[in-house]
Structure 1
Amino acid sequence: MKLYRIIFAIIFSLTCSTVVQAKELTVMISGGFMAAWETLAPQFEAQKGYKIHTISGPSMGNTPQAIPARLARGEKADVVIMVGDALKDLEKRGWIQSGSRVELADSVIGAVIKKGVPTVSIKNDDELRTVLLDAPSIAYSDSASGRYISSQLFRKLGIEQQVKSKAYKVERIPVASLVAKGKYSIGFQQVSELLPVKGVTFIGELPDNMQYTTRFAGAVVSHSAYNDGATQLLAYLSSPDVQPVVRSTGLHSVTMQHANIMSDTVQ
């Protein structure tokens, strides 16, 4: 009888362990949606009973931490949340499930300076041009916003050659963190990635005619064993109930109309 109890206890323990493992989701996410994620992920865990393991990394770039690099070397995940253009590339490679993409938020570019230094304005083209020409150094990210700053914004303002020697790409870490330390005098990145950083002053978004909007989206990874949970998570993150949290982090909600007509990244 005692032996039966021991066997039963072992089977019960193994069964419980399997159940726990079956309720765990691994999510790879880039910085633009991270501020909203840090609030919404625990709420989803509490409501649905899933335990979420978060892995952060850029949507693109050459660093080992970048999401495409992680997937390429076989790191496991159930959901990816990242820049829409980069997500398209993952789908072409067969790394995400076809038809699983969900539009999550739109992100615009803004700028910060070190806290305590005299503030500046970038409300129009002339002000932005003057600020950039006067700045001793300029920093931008290695993701979609940075690619736009370096390859298009400077050219649109007619100052590409003047700022070339003092503009720097920051890989992997938040641009604002280095501005806060005084390494760069002004930094550009998506607003949702600038606002959480202490030690800087947010001076505003780029002027409308110079703005670049990045679409963030999520999808289920091809090798995910937990499709139902992954699908539930993406539905939750795009639901109307969570949009106040999304907007509070500097992101813009994706309306149904926008989801249908907007490209992944809009100039």
Structure 2
Amino acid sequence: MRGLSVAVVGIVAGLMLSSAATAAELRVLAGGAMTAVWASIKPKFEQTSGHKLDIFFGTTPNLIKEATSGKPFDVGIVPVEVMSDAAARSHFAAGATVDIARVGLGVAVRAGAPKPEISTPDALKAALLKAASVASIPESATGYSIAKVFERLGITEAMKAKMRAQPTPAQVVAMVANGQAELALFLMNVLTAPGLDVVGPFPAELQQDVVYTAAPSAGTKEAAAAKALIDYLKTPEAISVIKSKGMMPG
């Protein structure tokens, strides 16, 4: 019996050492609008896989800068606009990327404030021109999409004086929740936040989905773990989290 116990202890110790040897710490580049998704997915993935995640959140320009900075990273789940930048794309593995989530644009006001009519392009245009101030992140994938809508509505110049540029999604929410800006224009999942009332999505004719796509780093030394993370993001468990946070999978 004593010999059997020693053997069992040896096997367990061996399995623990094997698990420790295969566990990786992945540095992840991620779009800031997916912060709530990662808050749920990170502990689930870490518990399931044994790998650890160190996540850098940023806007599109921040992510491009980080990807091209020379700092090592292992995988990105970023707006497709990051991959459209040739310099950034060269730091990711060649081949097709994997779309993980998408979400459309919307409008929100301070909780309890009157909601403008935005159900048609003309109504949205009138609401934007009437608003005294608008909070958003112009230098982001979302901001680029909103700029395209302004251009289609013919209000690019008129909106310049109204914009209250913010550095992060959380500050867009805070700006309107605190009454420092009248409208928030951003992604629907971010606008569903305490302190705001969602007015609604942009009209279908103007809607611009922001898509988040995944790829390993070209220089990662943890290719298997990076692939495991991307594969996990396509599992029913991860898809359920993505939907629960106001985004659509794929």
Q: Could you tell me which residue of structure 2 aligns to residue 36 of structure 1? A: 37
User: Following TM superposition, by how much is the alpha carbon of 1:218 offset from its aligned partner in structure 2, in angstroms?
Assistant: 1.0
User: Structure 2: how far apart are the matches of 1:214 and 1:92?
Assistant: 18
Any gaps of 5 or more consecutive residues in structure 2? Answer: 1-12
- 1:176 maps to amino acid: V
- Note the aligned Cα RMSD (angstroms): 2.4
User: Following TM superposition, by how much is the alpha carbon of 1:20 offset from its aligned partner in structure 2, in angstroms?
Assistant: 6.3
User: Following TM superposition, by how much is the alpha carbon of 1:105 offset from its aligned partner in structure 2, in angstroms?
Assistant: 1.2
Is the Cα–Cα contact under 8 Å of residues 110 and 190 in structure 1 kept in the other structure? yes
User: Following TM superposition, by how much is the alpha carbon of 1:29 offset from its aligned partner in structure 2, in angstroms?
Assistant: 0.7
Q: Could you tell me which residue of structure 2 aligns to residue 109 of structure 1? A: 105
TM-score, normalised with respect to structure 1? 0.79
User: Structure 2: how far apart are the matches of 1:42 and 1:236?
Assistant: 12
- SS for the counterpart of 1:222 is coil
User: Structure 1: how far apart are the matches of 2:152 and 2:96?
Assistant: 36
Q: Could you tell me which residue of structure 2 aligns to residue 4 of structure 1? A: none
User: Structure 2: how far apart are the matches of 1:82 and 1:207?
Assistant: 25
TM-score, normalised with respect to structure 2? 0.84
User: Structure 2: how far apart are the matches of 1:160 and 1:204?
Assistant: 21
- SS for the counterpart of 2:227 is helix
Is the Cα–Cα contact under 8 Å of residues 154 and 160 in structure 1 kept in the other structure? yes
User: Following TM superposition, by how much is the alpha carbon of 1:110 offset from its aligned partner in structure 2, in angstroms?
Assistant: 0.9
Q: Does 1:85 align with 2:86?
A: no
User: Following TM superposition, by how much is the alpha carbon of 1:146 offset from its aligned partner in structure 2, in angstroms?
Assistant: 1.0
- 2:175 maps to amino acid: L
Please give the per-residue CA displacement for 1:85-126, whole angstroms capped at 9, x wherever unaligned.
212326765201112621101111111111122222312123
User: Structure 2: how far apart are the matches of 1:49 and 1:123?
Assistant: 47
Is the Cα–Cα contact under 8 Å of residues 59 and 141 in structure 2 kept in the other structure? no
User: Structure 2: how far apart are the matches of 1:202 and 1:230?
Assistant: 36
Q: What is the identity percentage for the equivalent residue pairs of Structure 1 and Structure 2?
A: 26
Q: Does 1:194 align with 2:195?
A: no
Q: Could you tell me which residue of structure 2 aligns to residue 123 of structure 1? A: 119
Q: Does 1:205 align with 2:201?
A: yes
Closer, same or farther: CA 85–163 of 1 in aligned 2, 3 Å: closer
1:55-204 matched pairs, under 5 angstroms: 55-60=56-61, 66-89=62-85, 93-99=89-95, 101-141=97-137, 142-150=139-147, 152-174=148-170, 175-195=172-192, 197-204=193-200
1:225-236 matched pairs, under 5 angstroms: 225-236=221-232
- 1:212 maps to amino acid: Q
Any gaps of 5 or more consecutive residues in structure 1? Answer: 1-11, 61-65, 255-267
Is the Cα–Cα contact under 8 Å of residues 111 and 195 in structure 2 kept in the other structure? yes
